[in-house]
Amino acid sequence: MIIGLTGSIASGKSTVAKMLEGYDLPIVDADLVARQVVEPGTETLAKIAEAFGEGVIKKDGTMDREKVGSIIFHEPAKRKMLNDIIHPAIRVEMIRQKEEYLKQGAPHVIMDIPLLFESKLQHFVEKILVVSVKEKVQLERLMKRNLLSEEEAKARIASQLPISVKEKGADAVIYNNGDIETTAQQLEAILKNWAII
């Protein structure tokens, strides 16, 4: 079974991903793939240099994230240009990794995709597991974790689909408002219900 794991910023999705690793389930991590596709020497990085100029590549051959970030931050058209280069590459690599795990005989693969709904990637997976959190808890965690003001944290949360919308699109929801044991128990129950463990 291919399971899509998603949540919202500061919902605790990474914590649940670590728990899934504990069950020896292979994980394709979209954030990790996003870094892999722009490593030195990749076709994607060459396309970025072509689109934004050689100045966005550091001396060591890596992408200058700060420079690219400052370019796309103020220009939506440039942001779209970057996404049009990176997103297809990420999708291709994620599918490649998933297929590799299946070829090795893995019966289940977790696709850890933070923006699963925003990127409309539901068709990538058979079941969707959403890690949810109350807005108040989410706000507190995000402010503490990223040292943000309440205003900054609210803006980041608002940039994503509301968690209630994600819950509606889920096959199962983990409510990550309490302690880690409660979250682990919910995960275990879902995995048993889906006949994964």
**Half-sphere exposure (CA, 13 Å, Cβ side) for 150?**
3
Q: What does DSSP assign to residue 57?
A: B
What's phi and psi for 129, nearest 5 deg? -110, 115
Q: List the domain boundaries for the chain.
A: 1-25+108-192, 31-107
Superfamily of domain 31-107: P-loop containing nucleotide triphosphate hydrolases (3.40.50.300)
Tokens of 111: 């696709």
C-alpha to C-alpha distance for 97 and 91, rounded to whole angstroms: 10
98 is in an annotated binding site: no
14 is in an annotated binding site: yes
What is the assigned CATH class of domain 1-25+108-192?
alpha beta
Helices marked H in 53-173? 65-74, 76-103, 135-146, 150-158, 163-168
Task: Output the pLDDT for position 43.
Answer: 96
C-alpha to C-alpha distance for 113 and 32, rounded to whole angstroms: 10
Tokens of 180: 């880690």
Question: Which pTM was predicted?
Answer: 0.90
- Per-residue pLDDT 10s for the chain (197 aa) are 999 999 999 999 999 999 999 999 999 999 999 999 999 999 999 999 999 999 999 999 999 999 998 899 888 899 999 999 999 999 999 999 999 999 999 999 999 999 999 999 999 999 999 999 999 999 999 999 999 999 999 998 988 899 999 999 999 999 999 999 999 999 999 999 999 99
155 is in an annotated binding site: no
Domain pair 1-25+108-192 / 31-107, same fold:
yes
What's phi and psi for 166, nearest 5 deg? -65, -40
Q: Contact 92/99 with Cβ under 8 angstroms?
A: no
